[in-house]
Structure 1
Amino acid sequence: MIAAALVPGKASMHDRVQAALVGREGELRTFEQVVGAVSADGFRFLAVVGDPGMGKSRLLAELARIADRHGLATFTGRATEFEQELPLSPLIDALDDHLDAQAHKLAETIPAAPMRLLASAIPALSGVAGDGEGEPLGGDRTGLTRYRLYRAVRLLLEELARPSGLALLLDDVHWADVTSIELLDHLVRHPPSARVLLAVAYRPAQASARLTALAEHGTRVTVEPLTRAQAEELLGPGVSAPLRRRLYEASGGNPFYLEALARVGGEPDDAGGPGTDELPPAVWAALQIELSGLSPTALRAAQGAAVTADEFEPGLAAVAAELPLSDMLAALNELVGRDLVRQADAYRFRFRHPLVRQVTYLSAAPGWRYAAHARLAAHLERLGAPAVARAHHVERSGAFGDRAAAETLVEAARTVAGRAPATAGAWLKAALALLPGEEPGGPDRLEVMLELARVQGISGNLIEGRDTAREVLRLLPPGDHDRRARAARLCALMERQLDRPHEARSLLLDELSAMPDPQAAAAVTLRTRLVAEALMRVDFRAAQAVLDFMPDDGADWQPGLAMAVAALRAMPAYAAGRIDESLKHIDAAADLVDAAPDEHLAEWLDAIAWLCWTQNSIGRYDGALAHFERAVAVARSSGQDYILTNLLAGQARTLTMVGRLAEARITAEESVEVARLLGSGQQLVFALTQSCLADSWAGEDDTALAAGREATSAGVGRGEVWASMARHALGTALINAGRLEEGVEELLTACDRFDSPRLDRDTLLSCCEALALAEAAMDAPERAAVWADRAQHLARHDRPSFAGVALLARAHALRGEDPAGAAALAEEAAGLLGGAGRRIDRGRALLVAGLAHDGAGERARGRESLRAAAAVFDACGARGLHARTLKELRRMGVRTPAAGKARRAGLPHGLSPREAEVAELVAEGLTNQQIAERLFLSVRTVETHLSRVFAKIGVTSRVGVVNALRRLR
C-alpha cells in the first residue's frame, strides 16, 4: 500500500470525511426535540446506540452544540476500555475540571453530609469535604452508601443546572463501571428537579441489560450504517466511482471505518494483524498503517500514552514510555499533527477515538506493556498516590508472589468497597492471583477470599459470592471448624438471598454433622443460622427444637454469641403464644445487646434482626426502634447489605405503626434501593412490603399499590412468611384505596383463609380488623362480626395493642346496628392503641367513634372525636385519612380547609408537597441549613421554596408561616 499522505488528493478526501455529517438528519431532529423539551419541561434521558464507529461520538458533539445553543451548560465525559474498573470514571471525566474551579462555591450551597459523600468519590471536591472529612463515608460500607452518593450526585446536578439548565453527555458507557450504571439507573428513576439532559452513548452488543433497559425511560436514537448513496455523498465526486464502491463495501457503511480506509486510499492489500472483536481486519490494518508512518520515538510515545490513560498528562506518559519529557513533548507534536492525538485542555491530551487508543495499546508488545504499567505504578507510589490511583497499573503488572502488590490491591479494594463493590471484587481477585497458592490454607489468601465473597454479595453478585464462599470451604482443612463455620454461615446467607433456602439449610446441616462437639462455639454459630432459616419458613417448632439443644453460654464462645442465641429465643415463644416467656427473652436479649460493643453486634446482625422484629410484633415499639436504629448503623459500618434491607424494612414498619410516616417512607425507600442494588428478590419483597404500607397510610394510593403489586408478583418466597406479608400489605393498600372486594381477596390469600396462616399474631389481628372494616363498608355486618370474633380469639387482652385492635374490629361490625355501642368500643380502642403507641390506629378508632356518635345522634361528641382524629392524622402525615376526616367534619357542619386544595401537609394556597414540607420544618423551628440537611437539598433550594411559600400564603416572614400553620390546626 502507498500511504495516504503520498497519494494525490487523499488528504482532501479525508478532510471531507472528517468534516461532513451526512445521513444523520433524523437523529439531529430528535436531538432538537429532546433539548427543547428539557428547556421547557425539565429532565430528559437520551440514549444514542450504535455499533463501533457509527459516529456516536460525533453525534454527541452535535448534541453538545445544540444544548449550548439552547443555553444549557454542557459537560462531556466518557468511559474507557482500559480503566473500566475505576468508579464513576465517566462522571469524573465530565465534571472534575469544572468542579475544581467551583469546589468552594459548591461547598457553601450543598449541605455537609452530601458534600462529604461527593468528596469521597470526585477528586476535585476532596479538599472541601468539611467536618468529618477523615471518614468521608460516615463509616458506611453498605450499598446504602452508594444510594446516598447517587442522591448527592443528583443534588450536585441540580446545583450545576442553575440557572439555565445542564446537559451531561457521557460517551462509551458500555465500558462504564457498575457503579456508574447504577448511578444512571438512579438518576433515571429519581430524576433531578431541574432542567437536566442526561445523554449516553453505547454499543448495544457490549452493554449490560441494566444499561439497555434505561432507554425505556427516555428517548432512544439508534445510529445505523450509512447507505451507499450517503457514503458516496460523504466521499464526494472527487473520488472515483470504483474507489467509492470499494470503500463502501470494505467499510459496510460504517463512518469510522470509512474514515480509516479513506486515510490510506482504499482497502489495504494486507489484512493481517492480530485483529479484534470490534474492528474488521481491513480497518485494523488501516489504523496500523497510520501508526507505521510515525517515527520510532513518536510510536513509543503513543504506546506509552495508551498505557497511561484515556486522557493523559505528558509527564506520566513519558514515564510509561521511558522517554525524557522533552522527547515526549516533541513526539506529541507529531502525534497531534497526524491527528492520532488531540489536545483535551492546557495540560492533557487524548486519542482522537477509543479505537485508535486500543490499536495503539495492542501494537505494543505484551512484555513492554507489562513493564510500562509497572513503571507507572512505581512512579505513582513514589509520588505518594493512594492505592486506588495505583491499583489499575498494579493489577496489570503485579508479579506472582509480590505481597506488596497484593496489599496495594486489597487496600484499594477496601477503600472503594462501599461505593463500588464490583471494582473492589475485581481488585481482590487480582490480589488473589498474586498471592502464593502452595499453602491453600494460608491465612492471607483465605481471608482475602472471604472478603471477596462478602463484596461480591454486596455488589449483587450473589452467585459469585456464594461460589467463592464454597471454594473457601473446599480449601479449608476439615479440622478448621471456626473458619469453616464463618464461611458456611456467609454462604448460607447468600443462598438465602438467592431464594435457595433448602440449599442453605443443607449446607448448614452438612457442616454441623462434621463437627465433633455439637455444642462447641463453631457448631452454635451454625445453629443460629439454622434457627433463622426455620423462622423464615415459619417452622417455629423446628426453630424451638434447635434452640432447646443450644446452651445459653459456653466457655469457648466468642464475644457476642450468647447475645445472638438470646436474641433468637423470643420469636418462637411469641409465635407459640407464650407471650410472657417471649417478653422475658426480649428483656434478657435486650440487656445483652445494649451492653455489647458494636463489633460484637456486627457479627450477629441476622440474629439481632429477629429480636427487633419480635419487639415490633409484640408491641414494644420503643425498644424495637432503638435496636433497629443501632443495628442499621452497625450494618452500614460493616458493609452487610444482605441484612441491611431487612433491618431497614423492619425499622420502616415500626415507624409506620407509631405514626412517623415521613420517616417511615424515607426508610422504606432506602430499603428498596439497597435491595435493588443487592439484586436479591427476597430482600426486595421485604422492602417493597413496608414501602407499600407506609405509602398507603400516607395516602399515596397509586404508589402504594405499585409497590404492593411488584412485591406480590416477584415470584419468590412462596410458602414463607414474607410472601404472605406482601399480600397483607397489598390487601391493606387496596382497602385504603377504596377497592374493597379486591382488598378482601388479597387479605384472605395472605392469611391462607386461616387454614394454615403463616403471619404472626399481630399481623393476623390487623387482617381481621381490616376485613371487618371492609365487610361492614360493603353492608355485610354478619361477615364483619365473624372477623371481629376471630380478632377477639387472637387478642391477648393484657397486651394493649392486641386488645385495642380487637375492639376496633368489633366497633366496625356494630356500627350499623348499634352505633352507640360501636362508639363506646371505638373510644376504648383509641385509648388502648394510643397508650400502646399506635398513633394511626388510634386516629382510626377516633374516626370510627366520631362516625358512630353521629349515627347515634350524638353529633357534638361525634365532632369532638373527629377533630381529635384529624389532629392525629395531621401529626402523622396520614393525608388520605386526614382528608376523609375533614370531609366528615364538613358534612357535620364544621368549617375546615377545602379538601384537595392546598395542603398535602396542612397548608392552603396550593403549596406543592415539597413547599409544604419546608413550611412544616419552618414551623418546627429549623433553620434553612437544618432544613437543607433534613431534606437533602441545598440551602439555596430551600430559600427558593421558602420564597414561594411566602408568596402563596401571603406572608413576609418565617413567623407568618408558623402562624398560618397554627391557625389551620
Structure 2
Amino acid sequence: MAGSGRSLSRCGLRGREVELEGLQHLIASVARTGSGGLAVIQGEPGIGKTTLLSEAVTRARAAGFSVGLGKADELHRIVPLSSLAACILHGEKPLLSGDAFADLARSHDQRIWLVERIAEAIEARAGSMPVLIALDDVQWADPLSLFALKQLPTRLWTLPVVWMLAGRLDPAGPAQEVLTAAAKTLPTSTVRLGPLSDAAIGELVSDTLGAGADERARDLLDGAGGNPFLVVEMLAGLRSPERSGETVPPGLVVGVRGRLRSLQPSTLRLLQMGAVLGRRFRFHDAAALCGRPSTALLAALEEAVRAGLLDDNGDHLLFRHDLLRQAVYHDIPPSARMALHREAANHLVRVGRQPVDAVPHILRGAAPGDEEAVALLQQAADEVLPVAPGLAADLMTRALELVPSAVPLRFVVGEQAIVSLTRAGRNREALSTGDRLLAGRPPTEAFSRLQAALGVTLWNMDLAGELRRRAETALSIGGAASEVGARLSALRALAMSRDDDLAAARGVGEAALRAAVACGDREAQVLALCGLGEIALNAGESAAALKRFAALSAVDSAFLPEEIVAHQHMDDFTSSARLLLAEGRDGAPRQAMLLWGQGQHHLALGRLADADTDFVTMERLEDDVQVPVQQVNTAVIRSQIALLRGDGEAARQHLATARRRLAVKPNPGNTAAVRFLEAVHAEADGDLALAVERIRQVQQEGFFMRWRLLRNQIDSAIRMALRGADRELAEDLAAQAGRYAASNPAVPTAVGIAAQASGLVSDDLDTLERSVTLLQASPRPLVRAAAAADLGQALLAAGRTTDGVAALADARRVFTETGAHAAAALLQHDLDRAGAGGHRVATAQRPVHGWGALTVSEKKVARLIAEGRTNRSVADLLIVSPHTVNTHVTSVFRKLSINSRVQLANLVMALPED
C-alpha cells in the first residue's frame, strides 16, 4: 500500500515497549527451555494489537523461529479450519503444503483426527527449530480452529512452540477459552493493551507532523482516547493537503466519512461493496456487486489504495484495518446492507463458490420465506456436520426460522435440524425442536420421520420408555416409507432392550433387521444391529452379542469398539488385540470409545498402569469433543484400579468424581456401577452393612445389570454378602453366575467364576479347587489370582497349611506382577498369620517421583522421545495410539519434574544402562 497508512501503523509501537519486552521474553524463554508458552494480546479495536503481534512475529523470526501467522475473518467463521489454515500455510516454509492441508480438511471427518495431524506437522517442525503460531482477530475464529487451539497448546507443551493470539476484550470469548484450556499445563500470560500515554501520543504527533506540531493538533487528538489507530487516522487527516483546515471530529465513522467525501463516487461504491463482502475480498466480486466490469473500476481501486484505505496482496483486497471496514459498512443504511448481503450470496453461488462461502451473507441478508437461502443453509450444514456439529446445528436452527410454519418444507428442515442438534450433543434442544414441529400436526409421513429422527435423541437422553412409546405410536399410525418404518421398528427394539422381556425384544429386533435389509436402508440396519447387540448383552449371551456387533462393525466402522469389547467378553483377546492394532485405527471415528476398548483389554490382562493411562486418555478425548459417554464408568474403574494398587486417596477422588458425573447422567447402568464401587469402598473401610446394602441395590437396579456389571466381579460381591451375613443374597449371586456360565459355556472365565461362586457359597473345597483348574484357561490374571486366594483361604481353614500357603503365595505373586499391591499386601498378611515367613516377598511401592516412578510403558516412551522421535513415530513403534503416547509423555514429565524434551534427553543420557 502506498501512502501514510503503513508507516503510521508502524508508529503504533509507541508506548508499547513494556508489552513488547514481555512477549520477547516469552519467545526467548521458549527457545532457551524447549517447552511451550502461550500469550494472549487483548484490547479494544484499534488499540494496537495487530501491530504488537506483528512486531513480536518479526522478532521471533529473527531469533530463528519458524513462524505461522494468520488472521481470522468475521465472514469466514463457518468455514472449518479457515482461521488456523492461515497460520499453517503461512511463510516461506509452511507447516503443511496447500495440497496436504486441502486433503486434510476434505478427506476426513473427525475433529480429533484433524487436530492430531496438525499437531504432528507442528511437532515435526519443532524438532528442528522453535515454532511460533500467531493468530490475529481470534474473536472471529471458526469453531473447528477454536477447537484445535484449545487442544494443541496442551498437546505440544513439551516442545518449543509459542502460541500468540490477539483479540478483543471478552471475558468469555475464544481467547479466554484457549487460555483456560492451556493454563494447567503450560505458562500463559495475558497482555491487555490500554490507552496510549500522553507522552506516546506526543511522539506519534511528532513522528507524523514533525517537531513543529502545534498545540492545536495535539488538542484535537483528545477525542481519540489514547487509541493509536484513531490517532493515526486523525493525523492522516491533518496531514492531508485538501483537509488541512478542517477540524477532525472524534468519532471514527464521522472521520472516515469525511475522508470518503473527497473520493470519486465509483471509489466509494467499490469500498461499500467490499465492506459488505468482508475485510478481505476479491476485486471481481466487488465489481460484480457494483454491477460493472472490473476494468471499469481500475481507477477506483487505485484511488482507494492511494488513500490508504485498501491493501492489495495480489490475490485479495484488504481493508487496512477492520475499523475502517466497519466504518464504511455501518455508513450503509441497514436495509441496504441486508439487500446487498443477499445479492452477495447470489453472486457467490452463481460463480460456483461453496455454500459455506455464501452462507455468512445468507445469515445477514435472508428474510423469512427465502427457500433458496434455506437450501444453502442445509447444504452448508451437511458440509460442516462431521467436523463442526455445533455450527451445523446453528445453521439448521436458522434455516428452520426462515421457513414459515404453514410450509411443508418446515418438517424436512426440522428433521435435519434435529439430527444436527443431536450430533452436537444438544439433545434437549433437539427434543424441544421436534416437539414444536410435532405440535404443528405434520402429515403422517412427516410425523413418522420426525419421530424416527428423535429416536437417537431419546436414546442419548436415557429415555428408553419414552422412545418405545413414540416408536410404537408412529408405527401404529402407519403411512411411513419403508425405510422410516424399518428405523422405527429398530428403535422400538433398542428401547425394549431395557425391558425384562428380552425374548420379545429380540423378535422385534430381528424383524426390524429383515425390514432394513429388504429396503436397503443403512441407518435402519445400524439401529437394528445396535438393538440386537444390546439385547444379547442384557440377556447374558456373549456369543450372540459378538455376532451382532461384528455385523454392526462391518456395516459401520464407527462401532468397532463394540466388537472389540464383545470379543473380550468371549475371552478372545487375540481378536481384541488384532482389531485394536488394525492399520488406520487413528483415523477411525469414536476414538474415545476405541480407547475404552483398549483400556478394558489392558485391565482384563492385568496391565493396570496401562489401563489407567487408556482411561485417562479416553476421559480427555471425551472432554475435548464434549460427548460424555463413559465418564461415569471410567471414574468407577479408575477408582477400582487405585484401590488395587493401594492408592486410597486417588480411589476416593475417583469415587467423588463418579458420584458427580452420576448426578448428571443417572441412568440404571451408571447408577449400578457407582453403587457397586461404593460397596467396594465400604468393604475396604470395614463397613460391611453398607457394602451389602449397596450390592442389594445393584441387584435391584435392573435384571440385565447382573450380566453387564457383575460378570467378572461377582466373586467380590459374594464375599461381601457372606461377610455381611446375608446368605440369601450370596446364593442369589451364585445362582446368576451359574446361569451366565450356562449361557456362555465356551468362555473359560464364565465357567470358572461360576464354580468359584458356588464353592464360596457352599464352602466346598473341591469346588474351589475345580474353579482354579477351570480358570487356568482364562486369560485374566486378576480373576485367576482371586480364585487362587479363595482356595488358599479355604485350604488354611481346612488345616492344609502347606497347600494353602502355596495357593496364597501364587495369588500374591500374580497380584504383585500386575501392580495390585494392595491385594498382594492383604495376602501377605494372611501368609504371615499362617507362619509362612519364608514366603515373604518385598512389595515396595513404586516411588512417586523420579525415574523409578515410571511404569514400564512410560520408560519405553521416555527413552524413545529422548531419542528425538515424534509422538507419531513412538506410537507406530509401540503400536499404540498417539493419544496414549501423549498421556504417557505428560505423566513422564510430571513424575520427573521436567518441562521440555531437551531436559528429558539430558536426563535419559545420564541414566545407567539397563
Cα deviation, residue 713, structure 1: 1.2
Q: What is the aligned partner in structure 2 of residue 873 from structure 1?
A: 818
State whether structure 2 residue 28 is matched by structure 1 residue 31: no
Q: What is the aligned partner in structure 1 of residue 666 from structure 2?
A: 718
State whether structure 2 residue 484 is matched by structure 1 residue 515: no
Show CA shifts across 1:739-781 (max 9, x none).
94399999778646668455434634766655789x99xxx98
State whether structure 2 residue 346 is matched by structure 1 residue 374: yes
State whether structure 2 residue 784 is matched by structure 1 residue 842: yes
Show CA shifts across 1:135-167 (max 9, x none).
822xxx5xxx11121122222221222323112
Show CA shifts across 1:930-950 (max 9, x none).
4288544999x9999999999
CA distance in 1, matches of 2:784, 2:265: 83
Q: What is the aligned partner in structure 1 of residue 253 from structure 2?
A: 284
Aligned residue runs from structure 1 range 138-153, under 5 A: 141=109, 145-153=110-118
Cα deviation, residue 185, structure 1: 1.9
CA distance in 2, matches of 1:172, 1:234: 27
Identify if the C-alpha distance between structure 1 residues 945 and 247 changes in structure 2 by more than 3 Å, giving closer, same or farther: closer
Alignment partner for residue 48 of structure 1, among 41, 61, 64? 41
CA distance in 2, matches of 1:553, 1:918: 57
Q: What is the aligned partner in structure 2 of residue 359 from structure 1?
A: 327
CA distance in 2, matches of 1:100, 1:35: 19
Aligned residue runs from structure 1 range 162-177, under 5 A: 162-177=127-142
CA distance in 1, matches of 2:86, 2:512: 56
Q: What is the aligned partner in structure 2 of residue 796 from structure 1?
A: 738
Cα deviation, residue 43, structure 1: 1.9
| Matched AA of 1:38 | V
Alignment partner for residue 741 of structure 1, among 679, 682, 685? 685
Identify if the C-alpha distance between structure 1 residues 229 and 592 changes in structure 2 by more than 3 Å, giving closer, same or farther: closer
CA distance in 1, matches of 2:322, 2:479: 61
Q: Is the 8 A contact 2:143 2:388 kept in 1?
A: yes
Cα deviation, residue 417, structure 1: 2.2
**TM-score if structure 1 supplies the norm length?**
0.68
Identify if the C-alpha distance between structure 1 residues 399 and 787 changes in structure 2 by more than 3 Å, giving closer, same or farther: closer
Cα deviation, residue 388, structure 1: 4.9
Q: Is the 8 A contact 1:515 1:523 kept in 2?
A: no
Unaligned regions of 5+ residues in structure 1, if any? 6-10, 105-122, 267-279, 956-963, 965-969
Q: Is the 8 A contact 1:54 1:223 kept in 2?
A: no
Q: Is the 8 A contact 2:89 2:96 kept in 1?
A: no
Cα deviation, residue 286, structure 1: 2.0
CA distance in 2, matches of 1:146, 1:811: 51
Cα deviation, residue 91, structure 1: 0.8
Aligned residue runs from structure 1 range 61-460, under 5 A: 61-68=54-61, 70-98=63-91, 103=96, 123-126=98-101, 136-137=107-108, 141=109, 145-205=110-170, 207=173, 210=177, 213-214=180-181, 216-217=183-184, 219-221=188-190, 223=192, 225-226=194-195, 229=198, 233=202, 247-248=221-222, 250-264=223-237, 282-308=251-277, 310-312=279-281, 314=283, 318=287, 331-342=300-311, 347-363=315-331, 365-366=336-337, 367-379=339-351, 381=352, 388=356, 410-426=378-394, 428=396, 440-441=407-408, 446-460=411-425
Cα deviation, residue 685, structure 1: 3.4
CA distance in 1, matches of 2:455, 2:138: 35
Identify if the C-alpha distance between structure 1 residues 703 and 127 changes in structure 2 by more than 3 Å, giving closer, same or farther: farther
Q: Is the 8 A contact 1:873 1:881 kept in 2?
A: no
Q: What is the aligned partner in structure 2 of residue 553 from structure 1?
A: 511
RMSD (Å), alpha carbons: 6.2
Secondary structure at 1:795 match in 2: helix
| Matched AA of 1:19 | C
Q: Is the 8 A contact 1:88 1:180 kept in 2?
A: yes
Show CA shifts across 1:399-436 (max 9, x none).
999988766654444333211223444555676688x8
Question: Quick one: percent identity of the two aligned structures?
Answer: 19
Q: What is the aligned partner in structure 2 of residue 490 from structure 1?
A: 453
Show CA shifts across 1:620-646 (max 9, x none).
666996999899999998x8x7xx977
Secondary structure at 1:194 match in 2: coil
Unaligned regions of 5+ residues in structure 2, if any? 207-211, 240-248, 742-747, 890-900
Q: Is the 8 A contact 1:653 1:690 kept in 2?
A: no
Secondary structure at 2:132 match in 1: strand
CA distance in 1, matches of 2:514, 2:815: 57
Secondary structure at 2:260 match in 1: helix
CA distance in 1, matches of 2:690, 2:100: 50
Secondary structure at 1:915 match in 2: helix
Cα deviation, residue 295, structure 1: 3.2
CA distance in 2, matches of 1:252, 1:883: 71
**TM-score if structure 2 supplies the norm length?**
0.72
Q: Is the 8 A contact 2:875 2:881 kept in 1?
A: no
| Matched AA of 2:253 | W
Cα deviation, residue 682, structure 1: 6.0
Deviates more, 1:696-705 or 1:415-424: 696-705
Secondary structure at 2:68 match in 1: strand
Secondary structure at 1:47 match in 2: strand
Show CA shifts across 1:210-260 (max 9, x none).
457447545342525327656755666876667756644x44444444444
Q: Is the 8 A contact 2:513 2:528 kept in 1?
A: no
CA distance in 2, matches of 1:176, 1:742: 55
Q: What is the aligned partner in structure 2 of residue 275 from structure 1?
A: none
Q: What is the aligned partner in structure 2 of residue 760 from structure 1?
A: 706
| Matched AA of 1:170 | L
Deviates more, 1:941-950 or 1:785-794: 941-950
Cα deviation, residue 724, structure 1: 3.5
Secondary structure at 1:42 match in 2: coil
Q: Is the 8 A contact 1:46 1:220 kept in 2?
A: yes
Identify if the C-alpha distance between structure 1 residues 622 and 946 changes in structure 2 by more than 3 Å, giving closer, same or farther: same
CA distance in 2, matches of 1:294, 1:882: 86
CA distance in 1, matches of 2:433, 2:707: 39
CA distance in 1, matches of 2:844, 2:95: 46
Secondary structure at 2:70 match in 1: strand
Identify if the C-alpha distance between structure 1 residues 375 and 440 changes in structure 2 by more than 3 Å, giving closer, same or farther: closer
Deviates more, 1:784-793 or 1:883-892: 883-892
Secondary structure at 2:23 match in 1: helix
CA distance in 2, matches of 1:946, 1:438: 64
Cα deviation, residue 466, structure 1: 3.1
Cα deviation, residue 207, structure 1: 1.8
Show CA shifts across 1:47-95 (max 9, x none).
3333333333233234324534554322221211111111122211112
Q: What is the aligned partner in structure 1 of residue 744 from structure 2?
A: none
Cα deviation, residue 42, structure 1: 0.9
Identify if the C-alpha distance between structure 1 residues 830 and 478 changes in structure 2 by more than 3 Å, giving closer, same or farther: farther
Secondary structure at 1:553 match in 2: helix
CA distance in 1, matches of 2:608, 2:457: 31
The number of equivalent residue pairs is 848
Secondary structure at 1:19 match in 2: helix
Identify if the C-alpha distance between structure 1 residues 67 and 860 changes in structure 2 by more than 3 Å, giving closer, same or farther: farther
